[in-house]
Amino acid sequence: MKEYYVKRSNMSYFLDRLEEDVESVSSSVYLPPDLSVNDIQQITLSSLPDTIIELAAGSLTGAVIFTGRESNTLVFPPFLLKEKVIFSDCTTEPLRELVAKDFIVGLVLVHLGTYAVGVCKGDVLVSSKVGTGLVHGRTRKGGSSSQRFQRRRENQAREFLERVCGHAREHLQPYEKTLDYLVYGGPHQTVLQLQKECLVLKTFEDRTLQTIDVPALKQKVLEAAVTRVWSSRVIEWGNEIEEV
């Protein structure tokens, strides 16, 4: 099994290569999200590895499966597939159209102590703010001094997240009616704490797409996150492999 990501700028070339080898692709199956393993088993060929079916069922954006005589390709698109469609050949147009559309995407990336908030149209940043804040690390000391330190750390974290919320409001509210998706990044618990304390983010709950792993935030990390959000995850495997 081979796994990699394809950037938006390279997706056309990637699909061109699939079409050039069109005789080796016997079907193209477009699967929207929220389909169960049983649903996909009924839609696709029974010869697909169970792991591939489970991965497709677990995708938040859906999946496209190109099956062939010798090899197969599974593509997780960056944004939601809306319809279930099955073609008896190599059909890439629905995927091309999805990746080519200039969605407006908000990004809220946060670690305790660093943050980045941005909005991109297509894969180009049109608004962004990157910054830092003082949040002391945890202490191993015990006793009353440890408790005072912990309370101070909690206050620092709350003040820091309030500031991040203010920047999120500043950059996201102008796009309240036009934002297509919102993506979070950072440690799971930190993101959950921000979501809980920042009411403006609830406006975009129905458009929340995913949470990605990011290191401590700088402008280049935000720019890399935009590239990642717009990239498609690809898995390839041969038919001689019974299980992935």
Tell me the pLDDT tens digit for each residue of 201-230: 999 999 999 888 888 778 888 999 999 999
Among 29, 163, 6, 159, which residue's Cα sits nearest to residue 94?
29
Span 128-161, pLDDT tens digits = 999 887 554 554 555 455 666 566 667 777 888 9
Same domain, 112 and 85: no
Same domain, 111 and 73: no
pLDDT of the residue at 26: 84
Domain span including residue 167: 104-229
Sign for the CA dihedral angle at 156, 221, 207, 124 comes to positive
Span 71-128, pLDDT tens digits = 899 999 999 999 999 998 899 999 999 999 999 999 999 988 889 999 999 999 999 9
Same domain, 205 and 135: yes
Q: What is the number of structural domains in the chain?
A: 2
Question: Is 240 among the domain residues?
Answer: no
| DSSP-based three-state secondary structure for 208 | strand
Question: What contacts 34, CB < 8 A, 6 or more positions away?
Answer: none
Q: What angle in degrees, to the nearest 10, is found between the helix axes of 188-197 and 143-172?
A: 70
Q: What is the pTM of this model?
A: 0.85
Highest mean pLDDT among 20-34, 133-147, 193-207: 193-207
Same domain, 91 and 161: no
Same domain, 84 and 120: no
Tell me the average pLDDT across 23-34: 87
d(CA 64, CA 16): 15
Give the end of a domain, one of 101, 129, 161: 101
Question: Is 173 among the domain residues?
Answer: yes
Give the end of a domain, one of 56, 75, 101: 101
Q: Are strands 63-68 and 71-76 parallel, antiparallel or unpaired?
A: antiparallel
Same domain, 47 and 114: no
pLDDT at 243 over 80: no
Same domain, 110 and 219: yes
pLDDT of the residue at 73: 94
Q: What CATH number has the domain bearing residue 169? A: 3.30.420.60
